[in-house]
Amino acid sequence: MAKIIISQSTPLSGTVRISGAKNSALPILAACLLADSDSILEDIPQLKDVENMYNLLEWIGLKINSEDNGRVQIHSSNLINHDAPYELVNKLRASFLVMGPLLARMGQTRIPLPGGCAIGTRPIDLHLKGFIAMGAKITQGHGYVEASAKKLKGAKIYLDFPSVGATENILMAACLAEGQTVIENAAVEPEIVDLANYLISMGADIKGAGTDTIKIVGVKNLKGCNHTIIPDRIEAGTFMIAAAITKGNIRIENVMPDHLKPVSAKMREIGAEVNEEDTTLVVKGNDKFKPVDIKTLPFPGFPTDMQAQFMALMSIVEGTSIIIETIFENRYMHVSELKRMGANIKIEGRTAVIEGIKKFTGAQVKATDLRAGAALVLAGLAAEGETEIEDAEHIDRGYYKFEKKLMSLGAKIHRID
Ligand code: EPZ
Q: Which residues line ligand 1 (CB under 6 A)?
A: 22-23, 26, 94, 120, 122-127, 161, 163-166, 187, 304-305, 327-328, 370-371, 398
Nearest to 192 by CA among 177, 222, 213: 213
Closest residue by Cα to residue 289 from 358, 345, 192, 348? 358
Which helix (H) or strand (E) segment is 270 a member of? Answer: helix 261-270
Sheet containing strand 294-296, strands side by side: 294-296, 320-325, 351-355, 344-348
| pLDDT of the residue at 118 | 76
Domain 22-228: CATH class, spelled out: alpha beta
CATH code reported for the domain at 3-18+231-416: 3.65.10.10
The pLDDT score that the predictor gives to residue 116 is: 65
Compute the distance from residue 124 Cα to the ligand 1 centre, in Å.
10
- Region(s) of the chain under CATH 3.65.10.10: 3-18+231-416, 22-228
The pLDDT value given to residue 5: 98
Q: What is the pLDDT of residue 30?
A: 98
249 CA → ligand 1 middle, Å: 32
pLDDT at 339: 98
The pLDDT of residue 115 is 67
Question: Which of 140, 327, 331, 394 for mutating ligand 1's site (highest number of atoms within 8 Å of CB)?
Answer: 327
Residue-level pLDDT at 1? 85
Q: Whose CA is nearest to atom 14 of ligand 1?
A: 23
- Could you tell me the CA-to-CA distances from 184 to 59, 187, 306, 331 in Å, in that order? 33, 9, 26, 27
Whole-structure pTM value: 0.97
SS (H, E, C) 47-111: CHHHHHHHHHHHHHCCEEEECCCCCEEEECCCCCCCECCHHHHCCCHHHHHHHHHHHHHHCEEEE
Which residues are annotated as catalytic?
A: 117
Q: Pocket of ligand 1, candidates 163, 172, 310: which has the most ligand atoms within 8 Å of its Cβ, to mutate? A: 163
- Flag residues of the chain having pLDDT under 50: none
**Residue 176 near residue 222, CB atoms below 8 Å:** yes
